[in-house]
Amino acid sequence: MSADKQKLTFSIIVRSLIFNFFFYSFITLGVLFWLFPTSFFKSPEPMRNAIGKMIDIIITAYEKIANIKIIERGIENIPVGKSFIFCSKHMSNMDALFLYRRSPNLTALAKKELFRVPCLNYVFKKMKVPAINRGASEAQKQTADIVKTLIQNKMPLIIFAEGTRTVVGERRKLKSGTFYFQEEADLDVIVVAHNAGVCWPKKSWIKWPGELIVEYSEPMPKGLDKESFMQEIEHRLLDRSEELML
């Protein structure tokens, strides 16, 4: 049931408050006392294992405290043991978590400014998170180097084609970065449609109970020109997500 069809109850308020306190406290303490120390290990595995365990705890708390059930479809479409791209809808802080749970070697793009944040910069470097410059043209110049790193380390990359979180009913023009990344090395693109914003709306502390549905598409067709590729992404990402939000 969508949030606009639900009535705000005392139970929802209390559950939301409890989960919010747990989530932000756990993330802060986890980065400081779990992820940051493991970033000094030579291998990235201890830190990635820690991230995986943190995500399992957060998702369990999300489902139990906020009374939200995560349903995933098409898990069999996710490639294993190689680089590929998750092109995902972006609506909440939960989006990257269920993706990482499915692909523990996942990485993402981050603005260079974030590497100035104490402790977080060590975590990003250990995960080989690419630092990108602001501006589409600047980011595009880095594509070849980023793809090379992905392939060498067999890392999937998550791209939020809308560029920022959106709310239910908002439709943004998609950025074309996904096209250039897959074109550079013929990487598989798995489009991820979901309705996370129904349960966890942007800039809202209320967590609406219900079903968070995630769908992993079959890999995008190969050899499409840019216009055809972006049209297919729009259909799989935006149109399907909107259907899931009804």
What gap in Å lies between CA 162 and CA 174, rounded to an integer? 5
Q: Spell out where the chain has E strands.
A: 68-73, 84-88, 107-108, 110-111, 131-132, 157-159, 188-194, 210-216
What gap in Å lies between CA 68 and CA 46, rounded to an integer? 30
CA end-to-end span of the chain, whole Å? 8
Query: What band does 120 get if pLDDT is binned at 50, 70 and 90?
Result: confident
Q: Cβ distance 107 to 125 under 8 Å?
A: no
pLDDT of residue 193: 98
Query: What band does 124 get if pLDDT is binned at 50, 70 and 90?
Result: confident
Query: What band does 68 get if pLDDT is binned at 50, 70 and 90?
Result: very high
pLDDT of residue 113: 82
Phi, psi for 40 (deg, rounded to 5): -90, -5
Provide the percentage of residues in the chain whose pLDDT is more than 70: 96
Q: Where does residue 15 fall: left (phi above 0), alpha (psi -120 to 50 degrees), or beta otherwise?
A: alpha
pLDDT of residue 72: 98
| Mean of pLDDT values over 87-110 | 94
* Residue 179, pLDDT above cutoff 90: yes
User: Which two tokens mark 8?
Assistant: 């705000």
Domain limits of the chain?
3-244
Q: Please give the CATH number for the structural domain made up of 3-244.
A: 3.40.1130
| Mean of pLDDT values over 192-216 | 96
Query: What band does 119 get if pLDDT is binned at 50, 70 and 90?
Result: confident
* Residue 4, pLDDT above cutoff 80: no
* Residue 230, pLDDT above cutoff 90: yes
